[in-house]
Structure 1
Amino acid sequence: MSLLPSSSDPPPSARVAAAVRHAVAAGLLGESSPVAGFVDTDGVRDLVAALHEAFAGVPGVLHTFAAKAASLVPVLRLLATCGMGCEVASPGELRIALDAGFAPSKIVLDSPAKTRDEIRRALALGAALNADNLAEVDRIASLRPSDAVSAIGLRVGPQVGGGSIGAKGPAAPAPRFGVALSDPGARERVIEAFAARPWLTRLHARPGSQGCSPELIAAGIGEVYRLAEDINDRLGRPQITGLGIGGGLPVSVADDTVRPAFAAYVAALRAAVPALFDGRYALVTEFGRSLMAENGFIGALVEHTKDSGGRRIALTHAGAQTATRTVLMPGARPLRVGAFDADGLPKTGPALVQDIAGPCGFAGDVVAHARELPELRAGDYVVLYDTGAGCFSTPWACGSLPRPAVYGFSAAAGAGQDGPTVRFAPVRDAQSLDSIAAESGLAHVEALLQLDA
């Protein structure tokens, strides 16, 4: 039986439109709540099901969710109940993964700069961990108790190319993460490390990222597979039993009809590395943005519009604090924008070239440049699509702007005359001004004055 969604379910665009209208009617978006994030739980379930179906029949696969993509406990809890594990890269992410209900055996710690305390904590829990470099392998060895049950691996960087966003590609010629396999002597040093540490049983890589094709990702994984084969052959024993093959599938930023093609990705892997799926190696994936980006949006009130330098500008409450990478790297992370009226209904009318700017106090705080949209006016709303990963879930505290509220929604529980009905559930409350003051050191307001006493 297929795990994929029914063709009778509302399409993503209809779900978003319904959610905007109902959010405005319910006061989740409005004058007192001018910006909020929304998570499409139906879409999340659909994509997790598609991921599992793509790998159906492959033995020994653990699909982990990269917590950095949506570090919200209720979202992680939803993913845990869908059968996912969790990939974490900080003490905070490890804590919220445990709070969300992930078993330690389904958590993988991949931080590139682990403290000794972080390593001790992961080993005590029995969570898996991957060393970023050979020095960290030595650190783990000094801390690892003889009865440790954690699966331990080494991250390597297969230098097969960085894709269309070279600066961000984990498999670029000078990878920031892992041991760069093509560097002189690196491969031999890796083999020696495994020979000296029988408990080192995994190789891990993450050759994919936005801008990398499935074929390029598969080429990187092929390099890791061949390294595992070489190590096991050299040692004369099957010491490496697991491969972390990462994630990083690109998502669509053009429309909402193209979803991450997990089946196509598996087909590319089968073509590049046919033996990867024969069961000799347990596989660990770590998809994050490809599961969440298209299943979330930001809604923001248009506070004012103005003409400046021959361009119409809509001033909203969604900017660099909620879509940081888009503002700082607009070419690499463009966003689709939707225009909605004061009632939360899609706007119609002649297109006008407009910039969509945010509330942060620097000139570059623009989330969309020169977009043709129906003319926006004060009191309207803009929707930033495809922001379910790395945007409202991990906001930047620029200008002491409060973190926005986040809501989950379901629009698949039946439809009324005006389209799908929508139910909301709170994910994170909007940050209060009291909280901002507390985080800014309010409890120590007089402390610096005492230094002069």
Structure 2
Amino acid sequence: MTSGLAERRRTAREAALKAAVAENLLGPHAPVIGLLDVDGVRSAVADLHQAFEGPATVQHTFAAKACGLVPVLRLLARAGMGCEVASPGELQQALAAGFGHDQLVFDSPAKTVEELEFALDHGIAVNLDNFQELARVDRLLDGRDATGPVGLRVNPQVGAGAIGAMSTATATSKFGVALRDPGAVEAVVEAFAARPWLNRLHAHVGSQGCPLPLIAQGVRAAYELAEQINETLGRRQVTGLDIGGGLPVDFGTDEDRPRYADYVAELRAAAPGLFDGRYTLVTEFGRSLLAKSGTIASHVEYTKSAGGRDIAVTHAGAQVATRTVFMPDAWPLRAGVFDARGEAKQGPQRTVDIAGPCCFAGDLTAVGRELPEIAPGDIVALYDTGAYYFSSHFSYNSLPRPAVYGYRVDAGGRVAFAPVRSAQSLREVVEESGAAHTEALLALAEDPGAEDAAPGRDEQVSA
């Protein structure tokens, strides 16, 4: 049975698609756009906060990599979220959105000295990835205390989920200190003993494809290590546990499955003491907060047939649905078909491939789907694309980034839009590709001293 939430989500999405056509936001002149359901995002944030209610202090942060669009980050900040950033670009996006330094968590396995200095000087919570980075922070602090929380990321090595690339707690993961390696736990305890300012542990098992029991195992390992450190040192030095994010998304329906409450129940069973208030908890959810509130809508340019299979050629392909195109079994998307007025199409279904505009054969966002017959001028909508899809553009074929709009639908079915990101102009595409340096290589090649300075053929071969 379809839940009320799923029905509201579908109804709002269809109203927004129809209104986008009517308001000329989508059509032949603007053949692909992203749409984000603002009420859906706010509802997901509310569900997250409600699920974690209890004695423990919890700081919920949004993983900026899931959608680093400044207006979206601003919406989340106003809804009570902090922000987890993993690059200097994401850090600046979060600051531009209005997050305070004390609302940020900085994670990255490759932080530079400059990035660490900025975080340490501004009280931004930092999770360090390895012992070398820990030694670097020793030198930067030079005996003074950090102004914000500092944690150490550990890899509980509990195994992989269904998608290897999304699993960060495997035996050989690039993230964190591998706890099951010989001597690792002892080294972590010694690191905390030598640094009273080190006060958090961070663990993240993975995201899509990782079942809740596996994620809970990883969190339990971090919790048990915190208990061991505090007991060994005879003081409550570890006061915070960053348990990451990773709640999977159901890409097969409009339902939220699993829910945050399901995840918390799994955590309570695995590590009951986690929620008793002794530790500040930090979460880093991303995809689960936004995915189901997003839609990519594309104008159908052509339809054709090959080998008995219908093909609909659209303007949404690998440039926006990169993961789906390259890993379709791991990242399948549902698709809907609408006519040129934005009305959902009905009628007999046909087997069709939904193709994108990129110049390679595998640029398909859906393969062998049973959908109403598609005609040129129709609209194909790709559902559950609010996280990563329209915010993490792949610049293949120099295709421009599409416009993104947020929307709300009132009780009377009226739709209001707000711009999130303007469509990238072709001039901006050219400028981004080095137009300011058009003559630079020719000038270098024509430098009369360049030929004399270049090594001879014999020298190049011997080198």
Query: Shorter-chain-normalised TM-score: which range?
Result: over 0.9
* 1:400 matched to 2:398: yes
Check conservation: 1:241, 1:282, Cα contact below 8 A.
yes
Select 2:116's aligned residue among 103, 115, 119. Answer: 119
Larger Rg belongs to: 2
Tell me the SS of whatever aligns to 2:133: helix
Tell me the SS of whatever aligns to 2:115: helix
After superposition, give the CA deviation of every residue in 1:273-305 in whole Å (9 maximum; x if it has no partner). Answer: 100011111000000000011110100011001
Select 1:48's aligned residue among 41, 45, 48. Answer: 45
- How is 1:276-291 mapped onto 2 (pairs within 5 angstroms)? 276-291=274-289
Q: List runs of 5+ in structure 2 lacking aligned partners.
A: 448-463
- How is 1:75-224 mapped onto 2 (pairs within 5 angstroms)? 75-144=72-141, 146-224=144-222
- Cα offset for 1:9? 10
Check conservation: 1:260, 1:290, Cα contact below 8 A.
no
Aligned equivalent of 2:330: 332
Select 2:23's aligned residue among 26, 46, 52. Answer: 26
After superposition, give the CA deviation of every residue in 1:88-109 in whole Å (9 maximum; x if it has no partner). Answer: 0000000010010111001000
Aligned AA for 1:424?
F
Aligned AA for 2:162?
S
- Cα offset for 1:139? 1.1
- How is 1:221-240 mapped onto 2 (pairs within 5 angstroms)? 221-240=219-238
Aligned equivalent of 1:295: 293
Aligned equivalent of 1:3: none
After superposition, give the CA deviation of every residue in 1:231-251 in whole Å (9 maximum; x if it has no partner). Answer: 111111111110000110001
Residues 432 and 167 of structure 1, relative CA distance in 2, 3 Å threshold: closer
Tell me the SS of whatever aligns to 1:130: strand
TM-score (norm 2): 0.93
* 1:12 matched to 2:12: no
- Cα offset for 1:10? 6.3
Distance 1:323 1:421 in 2: 29
Residues 68 and 221 of structure 1, relative CA distance in 2, 3 Å threshold: same
Select 1:445's aligned residue among 438, 451, 454. Answer: 438
- Cα offset for 1:449? 0.8
- Cα offset for 1:179? 1.0
Distance 1:252 1:400 in 2: 32
Check conservation: 2:54, 2:275, Cα contact below 8 A.
no
- Cα offset for 1:166? 3.1
- How is 1:372-383 mapped onto 2 (pairs within 5 angstroms)? 372-383=370-381
- Cα offset for 1:433? 1.1
* 1:430 matched to 2:428: no
The answer to which of 142-151 and 10-19 deviates more is 142-151
Percent identity between the aligned chains? 60
Check conservation: 2:105, 2:127, Cα contact below 8 A.
yes
Tell me the SS of whatever aligns to 2:94: helix
- Cα offset for 1:172? 2.1
Tell me the SS of whatever aligns to 1:156: strand
Aligned equivalent of 2:260: 262
Aligned equivalent of 2:69: 72
Q: List runs of 5+ in structure 1 lacking aligned partners.
A: 1-5
Q: For this pair of structures, how many residues does the alignment match?
A: 443
Check conservation: 1:342, 1:380, Cα contact below 8 A.
yes
Select 1:310's aligned residue among 283, 308, 311. Answer: 308
Tell me the SS of whatever aligns to 2:247: coil
Distance 2:101 2:46 in 1: 23
Distance 1:294 1:141 in 2: 43
- Cα offset for 1:71? 0.5
Residues 29 and 260 of structure 1, relative CA distance in 2, 3 Å threshold: farther
- Cα offset for 1:160? 1.3
Aligned AA for 1:299?
A
TM-score (norm 1): 0.95
Residues 383 and 216 of structure 1, relative CA distance in 2, 3 Å threshold: same
Residues 212 and 8 of structure 1, relative CA distance in 2, 3 Å threshold: closer
Residues 16 and 434 of structure 1, relative CA distance in 2, 3 Å threshold: same
Tell me the SS of whatever aligns to 1:218: helix
Tell me the SS of whatever aligns to 1:86: strand
Select 1:353's aligned residue among 351, 354, 369. Answer: 351
- Cα offset for 1:309? 2.4
Distance 2:228 2:146 in 1: 26
RMSD, aligned CA: 1.4
Aligned equivalent of 2:271: 273
Distance 2:257 2:179 in 1: 32
Distance 2:196 2:329 in 1: 45
Distance 1:251 1:139 in 2: 37
